[in-house]
Amino acid sequence: MSVRLRALVGYVLAAVTVAPLVWLLVTVLKPADELFDVALPSRLTLDNLLYVLTEVPIGTYMLNSLLVSAAVTVVALVLHSMAAYALARLRFPGRQVIFSMIVSTLLVSLPVILVPLFLVAKQLGLLDTYAGLILPAIFHAFGIFLLRQYYLTIPRELEEAADLDGCGYLRRWWQVVVPLSRPVLASLAVLFFLANWNAFLWPLTATRDPDLRMVQVGIATLQGQYGSAWNYVLAATVIAAVPTLIAFVLGQRRLVEAIKTSGLK
C-alpha cells in the first residue's frame, strides 16, 4: 500500500470517527424545535448548555463522579500493583492457580453479580454512601493482569541490586518497581478513571440519595417515562464528556505504550 493511499485511508477513518462528535456538538447548539432536523441549524444557541449548567445540578453530579473515580483510581493502582508484584516475583504454592482465578473473573460481568453485591452492600450498611460506590469498584482483574505482565519484563538484576542494599520486598516494590512502572500505571489510571466516570448500573443500584448521584445517573434523570428533553440530555452529555476527553488526551500516549510493552511476554 502506497504512502498516499495509507494517508487517505487514515483521513477517512479519522473523519468517520470524528463526524459523530462534530454532529453532536452541532445538535447541542440547535434550537429545541430543530433538534431532529437532519440539516444545519438556522441559528446557533447556547440555551441548552446554559439550562443544564444553571437548572440541573450537573456540578454536584460531576463532583461525585470525580471523587469516586479519583478514589477508586488511587486505591486500585496501589493494591493492584502490590498484588501484581507478588504474582510476578514471589514464589509461593498456588501462585498460578490464584492468578488464573483472578483472570477468570473477567468472564463475569456486573449484571451477573449485581443482586449478591447489593445484598452484601446492604448488610454492611454501604448503600447511599461514598464507600458503597468506591469499594466494589476497586478490584478489577484487568489491572492486576496488565501490571503482572509488565513486571515480568523488568530485569531481575535491578531487584537483586536492591536486595544487596538490604531492601525487603516492600522497599523493592516501592523504590524500584513502582518508578519503573510509571507508564503502565498512568495508562491504568486513565482506564480506571474513564470506567468509573462512565459507571451507571452500580451507582444507580447503590444510591437513592439525589446528592450522591454520579453524572451518568444524573443525566438519566433528564429522561422521563413518557417523554425526554433530548436537547438537555445531549447538552449534559457534552458537558460530562469534557473531563473524559481531557483524561484521555493526557494519557493516550502512555496508554498505547503500556499495552504494547505488556504484550511482549
Cell of 144: 492486576
pLDDT tens, position by position, 37-85: 877 888 888 888 999 998 889 999 999 999 999 999 999 999 999 999 9
Nearest partner of 151 among 87, 236, 74, judged by Cα? 87
What share of the chain in percent tops pLDDT 90?
36
For residue 5, give the C-alpha cell: 493511499
- Name the strand (E) or helix (H) holding 194: helix 182-197
CA distances from 145 to 73, 80, 154, 215, 263 (A): 16, 9, 15, 29, 11
80: amino acid identity, one letter: H
Q: Which residue has the cell 444545519?
A: 40
Q: Could you tell me the pTM of the whole model?
A: 0.85
3-state secondary structure of 175: helix
Q: What is the mean pLDDT of the chain?
A: 86
pLDDT at 264 over 50: no
> Residue 17's Cα: distance from chain center in Å?
20
Cell numbers linked to 17: 470517527
Residue 240 per-residue DSSP state: H
- Res 265: pLDDT: 44
At 187-239, the pLDDT tens digits run 889 889 989 999 999 999 999 999 999 999 999 888 765 457 788 888 999 99
Residues 6 or more apart from 127 whose CB is under 8 A from it?
118, 121, 206, 207, 208
Contact (CB, 8 A) for 21 and 36: no
pLDDT of 145: 92
Amino acid identity, residue 56?
A: V
Q: Is the pLDDT of residue 261 over 70?
A: no
Cell of 224: 422521563
Scanning the structure block, which residue is given the C-alpha cell 447548539? 29
**130 vs 205, 206, 207, 217, CA distance in Å?**
13, 10, 9, 15
Instruction: Give the least confident one: 64-68, 129-133, 252-256.
Output: 252-256
Distance spanning both ends of the chain, measured CA to CA: 30
